[in-house]
Structure 1
Amino acid sequence: MHYYPLNIYKYTIFLFFTAFVIPSKAQETIVTYIKKNGGFTAIKDSAAYTNIIRSTANEMGLHELNDYYPNGNLKRHGWTKVADPRRLYLEGLIESYHKNGNLAVSAGYKDNKLSDTLKRYYENGLLKEIRFFSSSEASPNEFLFQDQHSRLIYYADSTGRQQIVNGNGMFEFKDSINSEKGQYADGLRQGHWEGTLKEGKNKFEEWYAKGVLSKGISTDSMGNVHPYTQRDVPPEYPGGIRNLMIFIAQNYKYPKEALKARVSGQLLISFVVEKNGLTNEFEVINDLGYETAASGIAVLKKAAKWTPGYQYGMPVRVKYSIPIRLHTAPAPN
C-alpha cells in the first residue's frame, strides 16, 4: 500500500487509496449498515442493506459474509479472506439474491476475482445465463466487457426460451433502452453484430473474430459516425491514478479544527467525469466531519482535467468514487 506524507501544523498526513467503511463490532461478528450510495450509517433504518461478517475464520481461513435487505431477506452470502468490510477479499462460492428471495447470481471467486462458473437467474427463478471463466479475472463492471474474459455457455430469455446452448446460437437482447443481436460460436462472439442505444437514438455495428472485436462503428442521433476498436474505455487521469494520489497528498489542506481534534479515518467522495473530461457533481459518501470532506472536494476540483470515458466510440459521463484516508500523527524530526 502506498502513502504520501505531507507535513502541516506539526502533524503528518497520510493519504492513501483503499476500500471503505469503519465497522461496528459485535462479540463474534462485524455489523455494518450500508447506504444506497455505498456510504455507511450508524442508523439501521436508513441503510439499504446490512453487512455482517463473522470475525472467526473457518479451517480454510475464510470469514463468512452475509448481507441482508431491510425486509430481512438474504441479499448475499459468501466468504472473504479479510474480516473487514472496508476491503472484502472474496473467495469461493458467492451467491446473491433478488429481493423476493430467489437466487440472482452464483459465482466462483479466486483471489477476489471471478473464476470458474458464473450463473445468473431471472427474478422469476428461471436460469438466464451460464458463463465460464477459464482464468481468474476482475469482477465485471461498466468498463469491463464480460465477453473478453469468459465464454457464454448458456443463455435464455425470461420465458425460458433458449438462445445459446453449449456456447452456440443466435443471441438477441432488447429492453426499453438498448438492444443487440449476433452470433455466438464456441462461447464467443463471432461475425457481424448490431444493436441500438438510448431508446433507438443511437445505433452500432460490430465485427468479431473468436470473441475479439476487430471493428466497431456507432452512429449517434445527429448522424455522426464514431469508429472504435474497444467498446468500453474508462476515464483516465493524466499519468494514472498514482499521479492523482500524489497530487492529493501534496495539495490536501487539513482543516485546523480537524487537526486539533486529531481526526483520522477515511473519506469517500464521488464525482462525475464529464464528456469533456471536467469533474462535476461531487458527493460526500463517507464524511469525517470538521470540514475534512470540503477540503477533499476542494483538492479534487483543483486536479487536472481527465481524459473522458468512451462507450461505443462516443464520450460518456462516468461516476467515480475516490476513497481518501486521513491520519494525524506527530511529525517526524
Structure 2
Amino acid sequence: MKKLTILFLAMVIFSCNNQPDKGASDNNSEIASQGKIPKTEKEVGSNTTINDYSQVETEKAVEPDTIKTNDNQDINYQPADNNNTNQFEDNFIGFASFYMQFDKPKQTFILKADEDKTITCKEGTKLTVNENSFITSSGDSVTGDIEIRVKEYYKISDILLANLSTTSNRDILETGGMIYIEAFSNGEECELKKGATIEIAFPAKDKKDDMQLFSGNWESDKVNWILKETIPVDSEENAGFTFVEKMPEFPGGQQKLMDYLSKNIKYPTRAKESGIQGTVYITFIVNEDGNTEDIRVVRGVDSSLNQAAISAIEQMPKWTPGKQGGEYVKVNMNLPIRFSLGGEDFSTNNIDYAKEFEKQVNDSNLSNTEMLEISHYIFSTSKLGWINCDRFFRDNSPKVDFLVNIGTSKQVDIKIVFNTINSILTGSTSGGKYIFDNVPTGHSVTLVALKYEKDQYYLAIKKTKITREEEQVLDFEPVTMARLKAEMEKLNRI
C-alpha cells in the first residue's frame, strides 16, 4: 500500500512602509562648501548590468591602505616625522569622505517597467515592485527597463563603516536593517509616481514587536532617522493586511495546525490512483472574527487536490484574529499544502522557503517535523532613498551625558555600539570631550573611535559600561584600512 503524507508550511507575508530620506546628493552642496569630498552614490558602469532583474555588484578600486584627498592625492597610513600638526590637518578630508572608502557596492536589478516583480537581494531583503510604478525626474512615465540599485546594511560592521547610526532626533532606535534604494531609466533618475509604492521585506531571525519604517536625512555628515506613517496594503475592498502587530494564530499553535491538516485533508481517490502529487499553494484571509475567507489557489496541481486543500481551509476552526493598533483586522495568509505518495521527494521552483522546509521533512514521521520559520518585517514605501526598519528603544534607566576625554585632539569620531541591542550612537565634541547625550545607564557597550593626527589615522576600541561617574579615556593605535575593516568585523560577534 502506498504511504500518504501531507506536508504543509504556513508563511505570513508582511507589508512595509518606507519613507525616503534626504539622499546623499542633497548633502553634497553642504559638504562641498566645507571643502570636503561630497558623499555621493557611485554610478554603476555599463558593464555591470544584467537583464531580467538579474543581480550584479559593482567593484570598488580602492587601495587597501590608502585614501584619496580632495585633490586626488594618495595618503599612506605611515607615521609622520613632521611636528607641524596644522600642516597635516590641512590634508584631512573629513570622516564622511574617509568612510566612503568602505562604501558597499550596489546590487543592480533590471526589471521590465510594465511587469510586477519581486526581487531578492544578497542579504535577504525582498522588494516587490508593481507594474508602471515609476516616473522620471522630469515627470514622464517609464517604459522599457527600470534599473533598481540597492545597498543593504544589517551587520554592525557595515553600519559603522558606512558612517550610519541609529537615532531619531535624540531618541535611540534599535534597527532591524537599513537599505538604500534608487532607480534609473536610460540613465535618468526615477521616482515612484503618486499613489505607487514598493513593498520592502526586511529579513528577521528573531522578530520583534513595534518595528516601524524610518527615512534617513543627512545633516552635518550624520544621519537622522525620521519616522514615517505606515501605508497599509489594502487596495481592494476585501483585502487584508500582510503584516500586523499581532499575527493570527491557529488554535493551539503551529503544531496543532499541522495535526489538523494531516487528519482532515483526504487524498482524492482519483488523484491517488493516477499517481498525482505535488504542492497546492493556497492564499486566504483570517478575518476580524477569526474565520477563514477569500480562499484561493495561487498555484495548483490537479483540480481534485486543489479542492481538497480548499475544503480543509474552509472547515478550519476559528483562529485567534490578528491585531493592529489594538483592533482586530483582516490578515492575508499563505499556506503551501504538499500531497505526496510513497514518500517521494518533491521540489518546487522559485520557492526557497518551501525547499528548505522540505529538506527537514521525514515523510514517515510528520509529527516530528519542525516548521521552517519565515519572518520578515514588511512595509510599503512611496519614496526611495535611505530606509531603516527600527523601533524606539524604551528604557526606564536613569539617563546621563556620557563623556569621553579626547584631550587636544581635533579630528575625532566616536560611536557607542550597544552589546545587547542593534543600536549605534554618535555624539559631538566640546571642550576636549566627546559627548553622548541622554544615554541610559547600566548598558554594556563598545566604544569605537577614530582620530586623525599628523597625517595618520588611529583606532581605539574599548568595552565598557554606561555609568554616571566615569569619564572614559581611550588608547589609540595607528591603523590601516585593512586592519580597521577587520576590527569592525569582529564587532559582528558581540
TM-score w.r.t. the length of structure 2 is 0.33
Higher strand share: 1
Higher helix share: 2
Q: Which has the larger radius of gyration?
A: 2
